[in-house]
Structure 1
Amino acid sequence: MEKTLLRDFSKYVSLNILGMIGVSFYILADTFYIAKALGANGIAALNFAVPVYSLIHGVGLMIGIGGAARFGILKSRNKGEEAEGIFASALKLGVIAGLLFVVLGLFGSRALSSALGADAVTLPLTHAYMATLLAFAPFFILNNTVLAFVRNDNNPKLAMTAMLVGSFSNVILDYIFLFPLGMGMFGAAFATSLSPIISLGILSTHFAARKRKPAFLKHKMTRPAVMDILNLGSSTFIMEVSSAVVLTTFNLLILGLEGNRGVAAYGIVANLAFVAVAIFTGLGQGVQPLISKYYGMKKWELVKKVKEYALLTAVLIAGLIYAGTFTYSDTLISLFNNENDLAIAQLADKGMKIYFLGFFFVGINIVTAMFLSATEKARAAFIISILRGLAIIVPLAIVFSNMWQMTGIWSAFVLSELIVAGFALYLANATEKGTLVYGQFD
């Protein structure tokens, strides 16, 4: 049993981490090519628009992970029809959410760009990028939703393939649209927006061989199913929205301290951090199907083992990430500092070496929140996510920036993740011992 569990753990985790690394290229490739084509103002503009991407991505993950967690539990209990009904409700909910974002893009993207910090110099660039992302929001959300269900339907390899092909197509299209075609900021956003459509095309092969009526036509969207999906997926949504809140808060604080150069430096750090977060998200998404499956089968010892493997893997990954960024920080920064601006390079270098210490705790927090969601402790997972995104880091960033300027801003991220990690480990331990019962936090 131990060998089988390790094999399944390695398979799901490695495939999902690889896939999420590919997904992180959505923004990273944009950062690289925008730096080459549009310089520091382009990076700053992108950084102002990224919170909207995080919000769209978060809605997709909430629907996908929330629905897939219930789908996995129902399947493990041989309730196939109910599982299909959850899938149908998730798809329809994703379409509705995506259309709401489209409306926001049509009527509010310019005002939103200004509210997120774009000034007269960066506003046209930020608006072009943001409006395009919002127009394609239904595809981003549906892609995240279908990925989660395909993964839970015993096809993690196809999910990884879809993520990687979609992401690498973005890299190629970025180059074509920005350089030979000279489409500017719109071209970068358009390349990113085509990627989920390509991914969905690949994922559709999972359903193509099935002769029966598709689930989304066979089943209606029901209120209980929607509430269940949102409940189980809420912590994942808050995790992503947390990134947007932190990014916006840091942008505005740094804008006051160092101007657009400071925001550009933070843009470099934040986009490299985006890859690190994607790796931990891949770890969390990889263990979710296994935890949901064993939880549904009431195999508590296996649930505990998966959690332990995941936490150990998170710490090992954090060590590798920090060693790599500390050793090669100059090289990494130079990739995005096309104008060789010394001020940007110095700010980003110092920031990266402090900020990335936080990833020793980020992995613990993401894995624990996913574990609690997959074992129906949705409210406990939600509390972890709220602490990460709003309750601790925002006040710390405001206070520390007044006391120690940029050093304080970088340090706020590290300290907040450390505090949350302590609380997360307490909740995970309480769940394991049975002192955290369904109803205490749920």
Structure 2
Amino acid sequence: MFLEKDGILKRFAKYASLNVLGMLGLSCYILADTFFVSMGLGANGLAALNLAIPVYSFLHGSGLMLGMGGGTQFAIQKSQNKREAANRIFTHTIRLAAIFAAVFVLLGLFLTETLVHLLGADEAVFAMTKTYMQVILLFAPAFLLNNVLLCFVRNDGAPQLAMAAMIGGSLSNVILDYVFIFPLGMGIFGAVLATGLAPIFSMLILSPHFLKKKNTFHLVKCRMEGRESLGIISSGIPSLITEVSSGIVMIVFNSILLRLQGNIGVAAYGVIANLSLVVLALFTGIAQGIQPILSSSFGAGREREMQSILRYALLSMLVLSGLLYMGVFFGASQIAAIFNSAGDKMLQHLAVEGLRIYFLACPFAGYNIILSVYFTSTGIPRPAHIISILRGFAVILPMALLLSSLAGIAGVWSAFPVTELLVAGMGVVFYGVYRKKKGKGGGTEQKQGNE
């Protein structure tokens, strides 16, 4: 038993740590933009970036939905030695990615101005917002394909390569951000071009997995079946909602902050929201890291192993949450100053206050993200859908409107932690119901998994 637990712990540590490092690198896409744009283009550039970032959230979320959904289904089929079915899953995922990419590119070509108007950009930031949004949308095929390949390579037993690709792509973004914005003077276009090229560098790093024929997944001739496509999308919807909800929340928060404080309020939220992308990426890293081993354990019927993996993930998340919040609370002034190169006193004050309130959500958000992936990885996506919808739309939007009307900007910052706390309570209930059902009907499965 000890050796078995020790083996599970080693697999968890390997997959989770590598994926956390990779997600940390990946999240630097936008954080690097935030830093260099604030240095090169000031508060208006920061506001423009923050108005356009929701589009990146939709794009990245779609890629994660297909990658995580397809990767989960692939891992389950592979663990049951169903190679042909696993290859069909990969083929369907690539086809779905092509369809989504075409939609995003068409939006970039024909509807960018309309989207920028809808997001509330005024004359001072309209041109920069349009440029960032249009270029991001035109790079949609690269973002989507990169997300799909990262998830499949990770589920194909190469988490180290997936981590290297994520970090390598992000590092290229940081370097090119500096080169394009400062020596070359390309402004906001340089920032978004660096971001768009990053997934291409990431896929180049992944290429040895295919060139050396180490991959066990391949494109095959098969009809596009609605059931398999829906299975992929259903398994990945929580990942989509997690990402898309951040975009929708940013749109609503930007609208409220424009009314309360104008562009300076949006700029302050840009500091908080972009740091939030990094923090949530760490929790997503733990969740995505455990997905391959959870799906394999589920496919093989090892119930006790699944519970051990979940326990390790939650303990890691709690330790990480405590460290992160202490860092944010005591370092709020320094963090805000990094993105406030002009030394604007109002921007500094709003950002410091917001950081200390907003990131109270850390342990609750981490719990919700991990539990959602646990449910989808073990073949019961419905609770994950509910958790994702509650935290993404149903609770946080009315909470933002209510609390901002009661407490102004402090209410806006409070909406996120209050929402995550309420949804975490619901998650505890869902997990309790799930365990109760397992206790009644899963005795044989648990016994199998323990042998």
Q: Secondary structure at the match of 2:219?
A: helix
* 8 A contact 1:384–1:420 mirrored in 2: yes
Hey, what's the Cα distance between the residues in 1 that align with 2:439 and 2:393? 24
Query: Structure 1: where are the runs of 5+ without partners?
Result: none
1:78 aligned residue (53, 63, 81): 81
Hey, what's the Cα distance between the residues in 1 that align with 2:362 and 2:9? 24
Hey, what's the Cα distance between the residues in 2 that align with 1:28 and 1:274? 8
* 8 A contact 1:88–1:220 mirrored in 2: no
- TM-score, scaled to structure 1: 0.97
The residue aligned with 1:305 is 308
**1:91 aligned onto 2:94:** yes
**1:362 aligned onto 2:354:** no
1:135 aligned residue (134, 138, 144): 138
Q: Deviations over 1:46-101 (max 9, x none)?
A: 00000000000000000000010011111111111111110111112112211110
Query: Structure 2: where are the runs of 5+ without partners?
Result: 442-451
The residue aligned with 2:434 is 431
**1:334 aligned onto 2:325:** no
Q: Secondary structure at the match of 2:44?
A: helix
* 8 A contact 2:165–2:203 mirrored in 1: yes
Hey, what's the Cα distance between the residues in 1 that align with 2:349 and 2:303? 50
Pairwise CA distance, 1:217:
4.7
Pairwise CA distance, 1:224:
2.2
The residue aligned with 1:3 is 6
The residue aligned with 2:173 is 170
Q: Deviations over 1:101-133 (max 9, x none)?
A: 000000011110111121111110000000000
Q: Deviations over 1:295-328 (max 9, x none)?
A: 0000000001111111111111111110111111
Hey, what's the Cα distance between the residues in 1 that align with 2:288 and 2:20? 8
Change over 3 Å in CA distance of 1:437–1:342 after alignment to 2? farther
Hey, what's the Cα distance between the residues in 2 that align with 1:49 and 1:211? 38
The residue aligned with 1:215 is 218
Hey, what's the Cα distance between the residues in 2 that align with 1:257 and 1:282? 35
The residue aligned with 2:190 is 187
**1:405 aligned onto 2:401:** no
* 8 A contact 1:61–1:233 mirrored in 2: yes
Aligned residues: CA RMSD: 1.6
**1:33 aligned onto 2:36:** yes
**1:271 aligned onto 2:274:** yes
% same residue: 46
Hey, what's the Cα distance between the residues in 1 that align with 2:173 and 2:223? 34
Hey, what's the Cα distance between the residues in 1 that align with 2:45 and 2:283? 28
Letter in 1 for 2:232: I
- TM-score, scaled to structure 2: 0.95
2:383 aligned residue (377, 380, 384): 380
1:415 aligned residue (411, 415, 418): 418
Letter in 1 for 2:114: A
The residue aligned with 1:253 is 256
Hey, what's the Cα distance between the residues in 1 that align with 2:341 and 2:292? 42
Hey, what's the Cα distance between the residues in 2 that align with 1:436 and 1:323? 39
Letter in 2 for 1:103: L
Hey, what's the Cα distance between the residues in 1 that align with 2:51 and 2:14? 36
Letter in 1 for 2:120: G
Letter in 2 for 1:129: Y
Hey, what's the Cα distance between the residues in 2 that align with 1:193 and 1:249? 25
Pairwise CA distance, 1:222:
2.9
* 8 A contact 2:86–2:217 mirrored in 1: no
Q: Deviations over 1:141-172 (max 9, x none)?
A: 11111100100000000000000000000000
Pairwise CA distance, 1:437:
10
**1:198 aligned onto 2:201:** yes
* 8 A contact 2:156–2:216 mirrored in 1: no
Hey, what's the Cα distance between the residues in 1 that align with 2:406 and 2:222? 57
Hey, what's the Cα distance between the residues in 1 that align with 2:233 and 2:440? 21
Pairwise CA distance, 1:258:
0.5
* 8 A contact 2:23–2:284 mirrored in 1: yes
2:147 aligned residue (102, 120, 144): 144
Pairwise CA distance, 1:210:
2.1
* 8 A contact 1:84–1:219 mirrored in 2: no
The residue aligned with 1:235 is 238
**1:114 aligned onto 2:117:** yes
The residue aligned with 2:444 is none
Pairwise CA distance, 1:215:
1.9
* 8 A contact 1:430–1:436 mirrored in 2: no
Letter in 2 for 1:400: L
Hey, what's the Cα distance between the residues in 1 that align with 2:306 and 2:57? 30
Pairwise CA distance, 1:428:
2.0
Hey, what's the Cα distance between the residues in 2 that align with 1:181 and 1:243? 32
Change over 3 Å in CA distance of 1:9–1:395 after alignment to 2? same
The residue aligned with 2:446 is none
Pairwise CA distance, 1:433:
2.8
Count of aligned pairs between the two proteins: 438
Letter in 1 for 2:352: D
* 8 A contact 1:88–1:215 mirrored in 2: yes
